[in-house]
């Protein structure tokens, strides 16, 4: 698929060894190691407990990892069941398949419960529901619309689209047949994007139950026999303790940065940090923050339909801003950077699914803010390059002072708050004002100020 991913519808002079960019690998390694240990730790439970895991938002690698951990925790605690409270518009095909494999291979029965009222199981959510040992929905919910959509900056041709649809259709039909559910409707949800309410889903044998809440669901599940890969199990859930499994700080952080808008902001922070570091070498902090922000942004981009033309335009904007530091373009490069940044930002996420796009209301003010910041830094740098040196020996040239002795040809002057030995080609009398012509060691060559 040519690297594409598919989703289911929906200060100068510092020593080189101290350059801040050299600190980035170690800093990022420590940061990622810290994240790796921020795992969720479910409390130990008794054998009559039921674990409840809320699966909300886009199905991505973070969601898949969370579901796998929930099932593993239930197995470890010998829980009666795992209830996945599902509310999703869809997500990545690869992540959906990871979840389905975990459900199918689970020793503990998995119950997918589309809830609360107003929730939906669209796209990838249909596959997850069909794969579950028990499928339930709350009143006021819906399920369906599982047609696959290409992700990754391009359109599928007719042949490829047919292959993808056939593959998804066969997959969901197999899952439905394995659980004794309506395989024909499941296939139509892929081929025709059909969607039904909870009442219709129950009539069509798409789901098993409709319940208002988790306690009511557990009461209805009590005594139900379900077939797992490890054999048949009879659920004993009446009065069982329902314990919600928290996602954990690490997964919450990774889920948050997987949002397209958050990923875009992180990318802009990364660009600004690196740009500020390059314009002021040796500050360290902006470069480290910018580097970490860029790594987190690129982590998020692996789960999003990134258009590489848009990414290249954003990189081109960064180049324009950096060149502006060295070239006096009278604002032309800054304007070019703004145009490139806005176009690249609009093109960055290429998908027909609204929940995967970057908000235009975020793009415009962010792009303008970044451009204004770059313009200010470039202007300060240009002024610094053009300004007269005011310190050191170069700063003395052109300065004025007062002769403290007669100078014929040598004597003493007072310049910039200090006494200097001086000489002059023309005689200068004590008390006269002088101008520094040049500096030779600790002596100044002066001339009478006209």
**Residues belonging to the active site:** 123, 163
- Give the chain's length: 450
Pair 363, 266: CB distance under 8 Å:
no
d(CA 294, CA 302): 13
Pair 238, 222: CB distance under 8 Å:
yes
**Coil, strand or helix: which one is 184?**
helix
d(CA 53, CA 68): 11
Pair 320, 296: CB distance under 8 Å:
no
Q: Give the residue from 94, 125, 109, 106 showing the smallest Cα distance to 10.
A: 125
Helix (DSSP H) and strand (DSSP E) numbers for the chain: 15, 19
Could you tell me where the DSSP H helices lie in 258-353? Answer: 260-279, 285-301, 308-324, 332-348
d(CA 337, CA 317): 4
Pair 124, 8: CB distance under 8 Å:
yes
d(CA 266, CA 263): 5
Q: Quote the crossing angle between the two packed helices 285-301 and 260-279, to the nearest 10°.
A: 150
Label the pairing between strands 91-92 and 81-87: unpaired
Label the pairing between strands 134-137 and 110-114: parallel
Pair 61, 303: CB distance under 8 Å:
yes
d(CA 27, CA 137): 46
Pair 143, 195: CB distance under 8 Å:
yes
Element (H, E) at 337: helix 332-348
d(CA 204, CA 153): 37
Please give the angle made by the CA atoms of 284, 285 and 289, to the nearest 5 degrees.
Answer: 120
Cis before 409? omega within 30: yes
């Amino acid at each position: 698929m040519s690297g594409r991913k598919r989703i289911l519808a929906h200060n100068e002079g510092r020593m080189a060894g101290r350059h801040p960019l050299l600190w980035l690998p170690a800093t990022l390694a420590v940061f990622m190691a810290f994240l790796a240990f921020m795992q969720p730790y479910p409390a130990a439970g008794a054998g009559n407990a039921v674990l409840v895991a809320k699966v909300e938002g886009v199905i991505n690698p973070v969601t898949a990892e969370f579901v796998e951990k929930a099932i593993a925790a239930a197995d470890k605690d010998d829980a009666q069941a795992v209830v996945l409270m599902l509310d999703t518009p869809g997500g990545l095909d690869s992540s959906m398949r990871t979840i389905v494999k975990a459900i199918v291979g689970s020793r503990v029965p998995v119950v997918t419960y589309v809830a609360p009222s107003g929730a939906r199981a669209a796209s990838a959510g249909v596959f997850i529901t069909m794969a579950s040992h028990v499928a339930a929905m709350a009143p006021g919910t819906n399920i369906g619309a599982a047609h696959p959509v290409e992700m990754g900056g391009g359109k599928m041709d007719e042949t490829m689209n047919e292959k993808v649809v056939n593959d998804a259709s066969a997959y969901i039909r197999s899952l439905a047949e394995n659980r004794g559910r309506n395989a024909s409707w499941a296939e139509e949800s892929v081929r025709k994007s059909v969607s039904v309410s909870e009442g219709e889903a129950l009539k069509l044998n798409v789901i098993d139950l409709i319940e208002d809440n988790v306690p009511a669901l557990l009461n209805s599940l009590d005594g139900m026999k379900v077939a797992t890969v490890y054999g048949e199990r009879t659920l004993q859930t009446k009065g069982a303790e329902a314990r919600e499994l928290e996602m954990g700080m690490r997964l919450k952080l990774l889920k948050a940065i997987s949002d397209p808008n958050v990923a875009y902001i992180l990318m802009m922070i990364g660009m600004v940090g690196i740009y500020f570091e390059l314009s002021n070498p040796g500050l360290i902090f902006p470069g480290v923050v910018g580097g970490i922000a860029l790594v987190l942004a690129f982590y998020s981009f692996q789960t999003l339909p990134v258009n590489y033309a848009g990414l290249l335009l954003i990189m081109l904007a960064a180049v324009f801003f950096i060149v502006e530091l060295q070239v006096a373009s009278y604002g032309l490069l800054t304007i070019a950077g703004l145009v490139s940044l806005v176009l690249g930002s609009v093109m960055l996420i290429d998908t027909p699914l609204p929940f995967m796009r970057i908000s235009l209301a975020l793009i415009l003010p962010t792009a303008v803010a970044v451009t204004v910041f770059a313009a200010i830094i470039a202007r300060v740098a240009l002024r610094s390059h053009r300004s007269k040196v005011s310190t050191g020996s170069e700063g003395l040239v052109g300065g004025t002072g007062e002769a403290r002795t007669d100078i014929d040809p040598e004597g003493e002057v007072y310049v910039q708050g200090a006494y200097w030995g001086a000489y002059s080609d023309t005689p200068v009398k004590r008390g006269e004002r002088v101008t520094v012509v040049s500096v030779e060691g600790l002596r100044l060559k002066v001339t009478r100020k006209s």
